[in-house]
Amino acid sequence: MNPKPSSRRPGAHPSSGTVANTRSDHARRPPPRALPPLPAGSLGEALLVASDALAAVLKGYALNDGLLGLWRAYPDLSPATRGAAQDLIYSTLRDCGRGTAILSRLLSKPLEEPRIEALLLIALHRLESRPDTAHTVVDQAVEAAARLAEGRLKALVNGVLRNALRQWPELIAALNADPVARWRHPEWWIKKVQSQHPEHWESLLAGNNDHPPMSLRINPQRTALADYTAALQAADIAFEPLGPLALRLDNPRPVAQLPGFAEGQVSVQDWGAQQAASLLDVQDGQRVLDACAAPGGKTAHLLELAAVDLLALELEESRSQRVRDNLSRLGLSAELQTVDCRRIDAWWDGRPFDRILADVPCSASGVARRHPDIKWLRRAEDVAGFATVQAEILDALWQVLAPGGKMLYLTCSVFAEENGRQVARFASRHANCRRAAFADGTTERQWLPDAQHDGFYFALLEKTA
């Protein structure tokens, strides 16, 4: 039997001794006694905090917005609890298709309390990933539930989790037969990947569910590769070289622990994202446009590689500020405008650009492991919406590219509508567009997420006249 919250029966008024009137006992009783906060650093505290942000995602809010609100709501969290809560949030979202499938089998009807639903999803994920801590997880989840929804659903949380433990083998067998639960992606996403990447769809979906790698880009204007790798070794930070100025850490860590980060010696940037600056082939003295610049990693990389006159555009002021902050830390400078890049009359001074980086808005299907909420917030029709915006951006930017100039089209998507099909449609609309080849002779690159990098698409377009 599925556990349900107990109902309260009307009874005699405690002070009068008379028969109770028609109001419920719950309406007459005083507010529940406030419980003391959960012990700092406990799993219960992390569960309680994490349920707040996950509940916001369940309501349809982006995870980044939920986390900003979370840290404002809990300003005194210890770094350990903050890190534990964030890990619980991200890990649960990566496995959310599995958690919701389990929960649907344990409840007779959907929950009306988002934070309780979030708490159960997090606890169920923890039970599967850390079965050796089952007793502690149930105990701490129940303690957290006592501080939510006025404690009304504490018994429900206890019952659901204990039922899950009793039924675990049967639950897992049922999940493995459910594609959404097995692959931890929405059904439409699974089908699209199966159709468009028939040889790699399983590894692609599995890669989206992994923890992402942490790669670094060394700033050659502030340090040398040999000096920085020596600093990592001195700090006992293990790494693997990826390229002349790139490293991948064996284990991710906070940027505050990275030698020279505050001094601008290094940036955190995925190895796939680091390809953009070199593929654009910038040279000293060129006029360069970064049309969708935030958070500024690629903007900075272009400036690190060549002495260029760079204009960076971003749609929102808050995102523009992130670009400014990144450039300031690295000791770099560029002109920055907050404007819609499609409205060229609002920002273009009439001087054409030699190079344009078009890192366009997209479904972010290639970086879902870094932003696991998008798997559950995106809808199939959103892909077509992004493709429309991308086409508008490409057509606008083509007008400001100089003859003989090059534009690198870039997405962090694995969907063909945003990638190869988009570029083919653009080339068919513009007779003066030539698909330029990369050094390996190819005219496009589709990187799928793996242990080294996230998923990206690149195409280099040259304006012939």
Check residue 378 and report its DSSP letter: -
- The one catalytic residue among 292, 341, 412, 433: 412
Helix (H) or strand (E) holding 410: strand 401-411
C-alpha distances in angstroms, 328 versus 312, 324, 325?
A: 14, 6, 5
User: How many angstroms from the chain centroid is the CA of residue 319?
Assistant: 16
Residue 242 in tokens: 């990826």
Q: Is 303 helix (H, G, I), strand (E, B) or coil?
A: helix
CB 103 within 8 A of CB 124: yes
Q: Is 363 helix (H, G, I), strand (E, B) or coil?
A: coil
End-to-end CA distance of the chain: 73
Nearest to 304 by CA among 263, 271, 333, 337: 333
Q: Backbone dihedral region of 350: left (phi > 0), alpha (psi from -120 to 50 degrees) or beta?
A: left
Which parts of 146-214 fold into alpha helices (H)? 154-166, 168-176, 179-183, 187-196, 201-208
- How many angstroms separate the CA atoms of 267 and 330, rounded? 8
Q: Is 95 helix (H, G, I), strand (E, B) or coil?
A: coil
b (16+ CB within 10 A) / e for 32-46: eeeeeebeeebbbbb
- How many angstroms separate the CA atoms of 223 and 227, rounded? 7
Peptide bond preceding 114: is omega within 30 degrees of 0, i.e. cis? no
CB 174 within 8 A of CB 182: no
Active site residue 341: no
Which of the residues are catalytic? 412
